[in-house]
Structure formats: structure tokens, C-alpha cells
Structure 1
């Protein structure tokens, strides 16, 4: 009983991988790798890797090979389970497109849709990210959020930039009005994630807006007021 319970927990843990990383297009490579892991564990990988098992053909005397019949019935059962695993790991739109296909046909169709596009998608995402610049008079918040989203999308395609390089790209995209923030951030070497950095930039931007006329010298995380002459 305990062994069966642990096995069920292991299956559920693996399926959570697909649940948390549902196929959305750009993440096809990661999704397909995770799907294969789950199917291998479930001993269902042959459903998408090997030719289909054909129905038993009656012999000349009209009898049916019972072993062949059982193998075919098991194949149909495993095929249905595999199809359910695949469909539940997709968004609703993709489910509707593939609900009437068998597992091998679903995989082949998805490869045509997304497999060959991975490099193109990655190129377009990296191009947009590396050329990102904050427009004059535009708020820093939406700009940085867009860059973080591009970074996350690239990570899903297997292109991990790392925290420090990601932070450098964001800082390089800012206007000269953030020059003091950049200097202070690099000198202090603050340890924070991208969202914490975003909040710091928004706070700094608010300081610029409220203290611009007062001649305030600002650094990351604090400000010191000086009386105007």
C-alpha cells in the first residue's frame, strides 16, 4: 500500500511539471522534453515513438489470436492515456485543435507548428531585448516589465541569460537621467532579483519627479536634501 502510494505521488509530481509549463508555442522545446520524461516514466513513450499496433486479423479458420487481441487492446488503452496527458498539458485553444487526433498525429502537427520556429522565435525575442531602450518621457515600470517578460520567454526556449547579464541589459536600456542610479547600483553591488530591481527603479523615478526642482542628490536606496542657493 505504501509503495503504491509513493508511486502515485511520483506520477503526480511529474505531471505537475506539465501542468505548470503548459504548451503555449514559444516554449515548445521545453514542453516536449518534459512530456517525454512523463511518458517514459509512465511507460507510454512507445505510443509516440513506435509504429501503431494493428488490430488482430482473423486466421483462415476464422479464429482470432488472443495474444494479438490483448496487445491491440492494451495499445488502445495506452493511446487514450497518452492523449489525455498531452491534451491536459496544453492551453484550451490547442486542445480544441488536437482533440480529434491520435497522439503521434498530435506530436507531428505540433512539430510542424512550433519545432522549426524555435530558432526564429529566439532570434526575434533576443533582437527585441538587446535593442530595447527607454523612450523619453516614458515611465520606467512598463519598459522594464517588458524586458523581464522577454528574458523569461528566452529562458523558456533554453536561453538563460543569468541575473547579472539581465540586470546589465536593463541598466543599459535606461536614459541618462538614471546614470546616478546605475553608478550607485554597480558600486553597492546590491543583491536583488529583477522584480526588486524594477521596484527600485520606480522609486528612483518617483524621486526624480518629486525632487527635481529642489536640487536633491540621490543614490540607490536613499536621498539627501540640499537647500537651493
Structure 2
């Protein structure tokens, strides 16, 4: 498989918060294929960042970060969102009850949808 077709995987599956684990796995696969995995595997070197005013935009704020630091930052940011989303979905799933006079079909579809959403989040 060519590197170009592998890169298409990242283009088609962009990072969107809840899919961090899948995105990161795809990124690692592509970097391993291109023999660039050391870029994100090297140890994180912490360097003091000079304090600037709060009006810095995100792009400029992160332009001097090395790849392992960026990956750690993304993991912290999106992993918490993913855990919260999984918790909320689990809570909704476990509290779901079928009313006595309600039809079973819509309830089953709702339960299946919740389970599929949980599956997507891992």
C-alpha cells in the first residue's frame, strides 16, 4: 500500500474529539509505514514556555511544540472528553426503562443506538 493511500486515511478520518483513539492509532500506523514513528515516540523534553498575553491564537501558541508534546496535549484534551461522553452514554443506557404501555420497537432501537455510540467511543 502506498504512503499516499495511507495518508488518505487521516484525511478521511480527521480528529474530532471523540475519535481520538482511532485517529491516534491510524497516525501511528502511517508513521510506522513511513518509518517516521520515532518522531512521536521520542521522550518529551519539557522546556519552559515564556508567558505571553492571553490573546495568542491557538495556531501560534502551538507552533513551537515538538511532535511528542503535541500528541500528549491532544491526548489530555480529547481523552477527558471521550471519558465524559462514555460516562454520559453509559448512564443513559443503564437508566433506560420501558414504560408499561409503550411499544418495544422504539425502545429497542434507542438501546441499540446507545450501544453503537458507546462502541464507537471504545
TM-score by length of 2: 0.60
Residue from 30, 39, 43 that aligns with 1:38: 30
Paired with 1:15 and 1:151, the residues of 2 have a C-alpha distance of 30
Paired with 1:32 and 1:157, the residues of 2 have a C-alpha distance of 13
> Could you list the runs of 5+ residues in structure 1 that have no partner in the other structure?
1-8, 53-95, 159-229
CA distance 1:42–1:130, change in 2 (3 Å): same
CA distance 1:50–1:27, change in 2 (3 Å): same
Structure 2 residue aligned with 1:24: 16
1:110 lines up with 2:74 in the alignment = yes
Which structure has more relative contact order (CA 8 Å, sep 6+)? It is 2
Q: Secondary structure at the match of 2:21?
A: helix
Q: Is the 8 A contact 1:125 1:154 kept in 2?
A: yes
TM-score by length of 1: 0.36
> Could you list the runs of 5+ residues in structure 2 that have no partner in the other structure?
45-56
Taking the TM superposition and a 5 Å limit, the aligned residue runs for 1:1-229 are 10-51=2-43, 97-98=58-59, 100-101=62-63, 102=65, 103-132=67-96, 144=109, 148=113, 150-158=114-122
